[in-house]
């Protein structure tokens, strides 16, 4: 998993949520669906058709890419948290309920369904891991391209 291995490996003690979390991140951020592999198989990014009524762009997942995710959180009043994730210093936490409200029920439901986990577990894991993931993806202080995000999610 490369770039995100440390974040996911350290934050998930039993490792069971890593693949579903990667699938959900893929669905949210890169307009690709990360498919479940068999036991011991790494998730893979596969093209998916844009979903009718999806808020995201054809290339940017359910949220229009990482920039769309951060914009959605900022417009929901969480700009201070987002800025702490992108900028230097301590990452401020976000509550699963705040994250769910900012993302919207439809987006959370679609991502959870694609990841094969329930919405509460998805929000809990996203809230726990998203600050570190965004911090890693924006290490140089800028938002990476969709291709860079996709590569980070699939690196081994």
pLDDT band at residue 122 under the 50/70/90 scheme: very high
Say which residues have a Cβ less than 8 Å from residue 127's Cβ, sequence separation at least 6. 93, 94, 95, 96, 98, 99
Average pLDDT over residues 130-145: 87
SS3 content of the chain, % helix, strand, coil (to 5): 60, 5, 35
The H-or-E segment that residue 10 falls in is: helix 5-11
pLDDT band at residue 51 under the 50/70/90 scheme: very low
Average pLDDT over residues 127-147: 88
Domain 2-154 of CATH type 1.10.10.690:
yes
Token pair recorded at residue 144: 């990476």
Outline where 12-118 has alpha helix (H): 18-29, 65-73, 79-86, 96-103, 105-115
């Amino acid at each position: 998993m490369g770039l995100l291995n440390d974040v996911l490996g350290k934050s998930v003690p039993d490792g069971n949520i890593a693949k579903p979390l990667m699938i959900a991140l893929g669905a949210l951020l890169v307009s690709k669906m990360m498919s479940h592999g068999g036991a011991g198989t790494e998730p893979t990014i596969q093209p998916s058709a844009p979903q009718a009524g999806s808020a995201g762009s054809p290339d940017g997942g359910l949220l229009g890419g990482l920039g769309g995710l951060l914009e959605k959180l900022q417009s929901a009043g969480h700009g201070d948290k987002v800025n702490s994730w992108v900028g230097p210093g301590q990452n401020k936490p976000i509550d699963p309920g705040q994250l769910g409200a900012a993302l919207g029920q439809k987006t959370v439901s679609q991502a959870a369904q694609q990841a094969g986990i329930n919405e509460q577990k998805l929000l809990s894991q996203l809230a726990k891991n998203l600050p570190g993931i965004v911090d890693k993806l924006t290490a140089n202080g800028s938002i990476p391209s969709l291709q860079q995000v996709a590569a980070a999610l699939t690196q081994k």
